Structure 1
């Protein structure tokens, strides 16, 4: 019986030791051993992962890398995202820190361009155009044929709204391209989520409407009525009535500056900051009635067309026109600028359509239209739409080559009164005397949108967050200029003039002082103490003449006082309290 019990105990002891993983207690020795049972080594074995890594290195040491270096980038994609070239300005050899900073900036810019070009492969959509057969012109294809050929969701984007009672209509798409704003000349006002065909609000202001414009979000819009400018929300509730803006004919909204620019029948160009409700500028153009207006999306410059055939460029910081261009021999009917700010298209009473290069202010191409173009609009992909009466024609590549025939054409029910391409959609909105028409134009819209800037699918929470961020990043009106790259440069003349004015305010001639040249430090950065000493030294040099003059004046006064006291024989230092009794 005892032998059987002893045998069972031994078996359980063996099973227990087999379950232990690498580490067990040896009953014969007072220490922990590693490894299998019966191992005599006391040290810990090598890490098996390191052995595998070492073996892996040996296994591939004789092979060549299948993908040496970074992947090549297509030249066209790299050119698409190029924003600046390398800095070629000559810099003094002593400015080592400046050289290093410029080199880092150029390197970061080049890296950003390469990354954007690489990510171009991940963009989900591509733009496409209609291509006809050898003997077929695309302008003869009807809208019904295009709607039948495309998918169901795209075919529903072609529709007509019969609104013959309160027309003609002006229209405006918001920045995301999802909401449509319609304003009839006889007072009818409506805003629609046109993709889902959901009506947001519909009112009649019982007054003439000359223009409508969305503001920074789809919750507010501005309406130019017969007398004054009104602001409404998406439910049709009147928020503001701005009586300073009277007789407004045309409006443009600058989204990154939160400015609403208005052109009036009295010849005034006015800017309203919608974030604070304040008038920023009121400029008298002295050019009569202003009914032709557009903006340059690249630099936020306002282009105005005048009856004498000129186009003027305006900024809120200047009371005079920045540029005056003689474009036509008759009055201007419409002006449009592409999204890059490079080309401007104008149409005039002389029945000509001209394309100008805004960089050189010179004409590139000129076309003759039998009836002239009353409305112009440019898409995100560079297509031009022109309305001549009740016929709307779309042209392709108007500035790169001489266009012989239009890309698409469509006849509406009445004369067109407003044209605008929908952002991020192949849709052209046409407002006319009998209502509204949505026209399909394949290849017109940008297929890929930036969700951080304009997201058509954002919800209410995302819109609120975007609005807060946009307000924090709002640009000031003073920064609007013809050259947007001027913001990154130092106006040396202005800096020197300010320094001279500051020195002149101290009371002496700045031309008499010596120029202060700070010591160039070769190593490390300037500490706070060195900066304060340097500032003090500059201040002392600027005030040196004043200090010397004041010391000489004090010395002269002291000498005159001493001479006077010596002459009288009385010294102030020998006076005492008993001298008054002498």
Structure 2
């Protein structure tokens, strides 16, 4: 069989000399790009190296850390170790975005930072007071510590740089790297946004939902997700003084929350011994529920490859494929530590198959095959950056810093072009009003079912207060309870106005209902 004739390149068929030269140059560039892509294909691993069972009789969660260490290379084996610090625990841990430095904070005042791979200590402090949370800022040069009274900022040598006096009794810290915002919440039910680049407080809100037990950021849109002691989870933006979304997640305090890398799924751990995964794109519905644990889970965390770690008691359980139903029958991996080591925090190391665990006796690192991101973008986050590259990145990120007003539920609205003159980008407040407007209409339609206002009675004797008290005992937050709270506040204002008028000497004349209509016409 004769071969089909090869098609001539486009630049050879062009008659114009200049056009032929330009087409030849473009085609040569295209061919070079194709050859370069072929050469780099061997370096781009599309799938991570997960553990796989040889047959149905085997299970990956039965593989121990000792068996994994015996099978991996020497460099990976050195990354799994136990750091015993029994005098100052339990410990809260936090890794830098590059995954090179580790910051640990003991509840009894011990704070230290070091290169966890090489074991090189950067600094060590003993603050002699309670440490509730630690958090790196934009790089490994500054970090924040939530201490017994206030939040403090330190440099890489452990010297105190600043004290945030307004932030009192904070228990949770997080940092938005693209906005340079330090977010803190705690026992006072306050939420603070602090711009660390200019030292200015951007926003401060009162959640009105009791102590905030946990918080995390959504890496997709920088929305903060807060877990409260009454079992609710709220989503906040610094542009709106009310939660954009409020949902009831558990029947008790929410111990920890975590959002995956894509910003689509939220994992919550409650004191009712349940771990749930929620779809937070549009529906805000529960996707699946993991098996109940014997001890209430204290920490949940997503890896770069969507593995979910759950820490409960002295056990760390890692689940795979939990972003869609049906629920996996068995966990991906499971590790039981010493019976006296109670897990307090856990975090996957960026770009590594390592899970860091902070517990009551110090720090431990576990090998979790397939947890790290195989193909990283060095222009975004470079795990091998030098000191000169770190300085350049700091200047670049400061010049490209995003303003707090750009934090919305849908970040794509910022770059969307309006097709009509009347169309414009909706603000976060307008988006929140669109969400709450149907609820307001339903509340207005249900006014007929509400009890009558009784401002002449004591606060605890009115029908509104009695029904509201029954609602709170059930622990369910619904639209009727919110409406009852508004009516109760209205009764209190009416009662205060009446009391103030009596103090001013104003006496109301009694008018019988029979002739009150004639008095209104005068």
| TM-score between the two structures when normalised by the length of structure 2 | 0.72
Q: 1:157-168 counterparts in 2 under 5 A?
A: 157-168=79-90
Q: Does 1:427 align with 2:354?
A: yes
Structure 1: distance between partners of 2:323 and 2:8: 45
Aligned length: 392
When residues 66 and 273 of structure 1 are mapped into structure 2, their CA distance, relative to the original with a 3 A threshold, is same
Structure 1: runs of 5+ lacking an equivalent:
1-60, 69-110, 498-582
When residues 169 and 66 of structure 1 are mapped into structure 2, their CA distance, relative to the original with a 3 A threshold, is farther
Spell out, residue by residue over 1:40-95, the C-alpha distance to the aligned partner (whole angstroms, 9 max, x if none).
xxxxxxxxxxxxxxxxxxxxx99415999xxxxxxxxxxxxxxxxxxxxxxxxxxx
Q: 1:83-232 counterparts in 2 under 5 A?
A: 121=41, 123-125=43-45, 127-134=48-55, 135-232=57-154
Structure 1: distance between partners of 2:112 and 2:425: 55
SS of the residue 1:468 aligns to:
helix
Structure 2: distance between partners of 1:447 and 1:155: 18
Residue equivalent to 1:402: 327
Q: Does 1:375 align with 2:291?
A: no
SS of the residue 1:291 aligns to:
strand
Structure 2: distance between partners of 1:387 and 1:493: 51
Q: 1:8-87 counterparts in 2 under 5 A?
A: 63-65=5-7
Structure 2: distance between partners of 1:421 and 1:331: 24
Residue equivalent to 1:303: 225
Q: Does 1:365 align with 2:285?
A: no
Residue 405 of structure 1: CA displacement?
1.0
1:250 to 155, 172, 186: 172
SS of the residue 2:70 aligns to:
helix
Structure 2: distance between partners of 1:192 and 1:445: 21
2:110–2:127: 8 Å Cα contact kept in structure 1? yes
Structure 1: distance between partners of 2:160 and 2:399: 26
Residue equivalent to 2:336: 411
Spell out, residue by residue over 1:281-340, the C-alpha distance to the aligned partner (whole angstroms, 9 max, x if none).
001111111121111010000001112221100000100000011122222121111010
Structure 2: distance between partners of 1:173 and 1:496: 36
Structure 2: runs of 5+ lacking an equivalent:
11-29, 427-522
Q: Which has the higher contact order (CA 8 A, sep 6+)?
A: 2
1:231–1:238: 8 Å Cα contact kept in structure 2? yes
When residues 368 and 63 of structure 1 are mapped into structure 2, their CA distance, relative to the original with a 3 A threshold, is closer
1:169–1:417: 8 Å Cα contact kept in structure 2? yes
Structure 1: distance between partners of 2:96 and 2:311: 22
Structure 2: distance between partners of 1:300 and 1:123: 31
Residue equivalent to 2:473: none
Spell out, residue by residue over 1:142-194, the C-alpha distance to the aligned partner (whole angstroms, 9 max, x if none).
11111110001111110000000100000000000011000000000100111
Q: Does 1:390 align with 2:286?
A: no
Structure 2: distance between partners of 1:467 and 1:410: 38
When residues 412 and 490 of structure 1 are mapped into structure 2, their CA distance, relative to the original with a 3 A threshold, is same
Spell out, residue by residue over 1:238-279, the C-alpha distance to the aligned partner (whole angstroms, 9 max, x if none).
111121211110011001111010002101000010111111
Residue equivalent to 2:384: 457
Supply the RMSD in Å over aligned alpha carbons: 2.4
Structure 2: distance between partners of 1:314 and 1:121: 41
1:412–1:437: 8 Å Cα contact kept in structure 2? no
Higher mean Cα deviation, 119-128 or 330-339?
A: 119-128
Structure 2: distance between partners of 1:217 and 1:405: 38
When residues 118 and 319 of structure 1 are mapped into structure 2, their CA distance, relative to the original with a 3 A threshold, is farther
2:210–2:230: 8 Å Cα contact kept in structure 1? no
Larger radius of gyration: 1
Q: Does 1:438 align with 2:365?
A: yes
